[in-house]
Structure 1
Amino acid sequence: MFRRRRHEQPEQQAAEAAVERQARESGPWDADEPHPEGDRVDLGGMRVSVSEGLDVQIAVAGDQPIGVVVLHGDSALQLHAFAAPKRGGLWDEVRTKLIASVKEAGGTVEVTEGSFGPELVGTIPGEAGTQAVRYVGVDGPRWFLRAVFSGKAAVDSAAAEPLEAVIRDVVVVRGEEPMAPEEPILLRIPGERHTGPAPSSAAQNPFKRGPEMTETR
């Protein structure tokens, strides 16, 4: 997905990328490519679909939003978007780092072929013993999306389907500013981009029904 061959002229790369975009039926999507309209919440660097039964939360470090957490039943999905080089993706490199990190922490992990290509499945130590985990990576044009499944969705394909659908509908907004590879793409909490009087409760909660946006610190 979004990969380019080496030794090709920019015109040929652009033409092949256009054909690939037309052929794809699902994302993750780049904000600059044609993609289906949908009920998504705008988080700045990421637009995430919302639907009945999903609880969408923002993970915050200090005052900075750093990722998105989507809860569904006994399962959770974490989403983080990063800048990537113009040529080549990050997933191969990140996957190698994750393998080393999991093993160093006393967990187990193996590479498998999943819905989005090569991914990692295994176990990591937790407060209540070991827990199952599944890492998915998607390389986009100048961005990389990392998804982490935990709970039932890490081991049960049926439980993972609603959360995989969220990944396929994500829109990544990379922006044009220079960024170092693996630098997090900035997110924002809905309703906090305005200055002046505090927005109304309707503006703070962009969902008409079902999911609720909360902060996870």
Structure 2
Amino acid sequence: MFRRRRRDDEPENVEPTDEETVADEPAEPDEEPAALPHGGPWDSEADKVPEMERVDFGAIQVPIGEGIEIQVNVEAVEQDAQGNPVGGRIVAITIVHGESGLQVQPFAAPKKNGIWDEVRKETADEIKEAEGEAQEAEGPFGKELHGMVPVAIPEEMRDQVPAEIAEQGFGWQPVRFIGVDGPRWFLRGVLSGAALEDPEQAAIMEQVFQHIVVVRGDAPMPPRELLELSLPAEAQQAMNAEQGGEGEGDRPPLNPFERGPEITEVR
């Protein structure tokens, strides 16, 4: 997971954009959502959204299948005695397949202008300010960003990494940022793990990202504000029952979701 920083390849320059973010506006009732050229991710109001089993997290619906696990990234207000979040809000959804992870976040965007160009440049600048590396590349969804970012090493994992990395307290983790501008929304994905080197794993995670459905809603929102994510009704009921002490014996927790790592954040 953690690697030494590679300095043999200089990152390419990321060209700035001259576009300005404009205030969001409600969609016109008779206006059709713009078609995405790569066939997904999908807008909930689009025609002919491929039918498949998905988990409903409010602002996004995530496809599931064999070998896929889903984690919920929670920004906690406080923690209980076991370190679990109490209160707080869901800030991201992470899809896990084998040794690969895909963290996704949906944001509000202007009606006419996408924000991926700006977000991509800002993310590259943040990585470089942290003495990491970032370079643009072409991918199945258009422009994407490949980075090497510093990640803190948990105390319990320091005996599993080289001594020089354990001593400095952090390692360099490769990540791949993908993004798609939709009608009044922006969906960002952060790929990590085996999918960065294994084409088959990458294809699986790309297909998951491609088949996500974004539910933007009609409420006006400022650009870049995180769209509201929520637990599916069944999971929320199970979690409430577990917190209410309705479980019996050594039955495993009913809540199928766990917190996952928050890799980066867009402000």
1:99 offset after TM fit, Å? 0.6
**Which of 19, 22, 29 does residue 42 from structure 2 map onto?**
29
> What residue number does 1:135 align with?
177
**Which of 37, 60, 63 does residue 49 from structure 1 map onto?**
63
> What residue number does 1:185 align with?
227
**Partner Cα distance (2:194, 2:236) in 1:** 38
Which consecutive aligned stretches of 4+ in structure 1 deviate over 4 angstroms post-superposition? 192-195
**Which of 93, 103, 113 does residue 68 from structure 1 map onto?**
93
1:84 offset after TM fit, Å? 0.1
Unaligned segments of structure 1, at least 5 residues? 1-10, 201-211
Look up the SS of the partner of 2:102 in the other structure: strand
- Kept after mapping to 2: 8 A contact 1:65/1:188: yes
1:215 offset after TM fit, Å? 2.7
User: Which one-letter code corresponds to 1:43 in the other structure?
Assistant: F
> What residue number does 2:203 align with?
161
**Partner Cα distance (2:68, 2:148) in 1:** 25
**Partner Cα distance (2:75, 2:33) in 1:** 39
Q: Percent identity?
A: 43
1:194 offset after TM fit, Å? 7.6
> What residue number does 1:87 align with?
112
1:105 offset after TM fit, Å? 1.1
2:214 paired with 1:172: yes
**Partner Cα distance (1:32, 1:108) in 2:** 38
1:154 offset after TM fit, Å? 2.4
1:82 offset after TM fit, Å? 0.1
1:199 offset after TM fit, Å? 6.8
* Superposed CA RMSD: 2.7
1:106 offset after TM fit, Å? 1.4
Look up the SS of the partner of 2:45 in the other structure: coil
**Partner Cα distance (1:66, 1:130) in 2:** 24
- Kept after mapping to 2: 8 A contact 1:121/1:154: no
1:157 offset after TM fit, Å? 2.5
Look up the SS of the partner of 1:94 in the other structure: helix
Offset from partner CA, 1:100-139 (integer Å, 9 cap, x none)? 0100111101001011100011211222521111000100
Give the structure with the larger strand fraction. 1
1:57 offset after TM fit, Å? 1.0
1:66 offset after TM fit, Å? 1.0
2:63 paired with 1:38: no
> What residue number does 1:8 align with?
none
1:191 offset after TM fit, Å? 2.3
Distance 1:131 1:170, change over 3 A: same
**Partner Cα distance (2:44, 2:149) in 1:** 34
**Partner Cα distance (1:192, 1:90) in 2:** 34
Look up the SS of the partner of 1:110 in the other structure: strand
Offset from partner CA, 1:157-191 (integer Å, 9 cap, x none)? 22211111111100000101110000000010112
- Kept after mapping to 1: 8 A contact 2:235/2:256: no
- Kept after mapping to 2: 8 A contact 1:29/1:171: yes
User: Greater CA radius of gyration, 1 or 2?
Assistant: 2
> What residue number does 1:215 align with?
258
- Kept after mapping to 2: 8 A contact 1:68/1:78: yes
**Which of 188, 194, 205 does residue 152 from structure 1 map onto?**
194
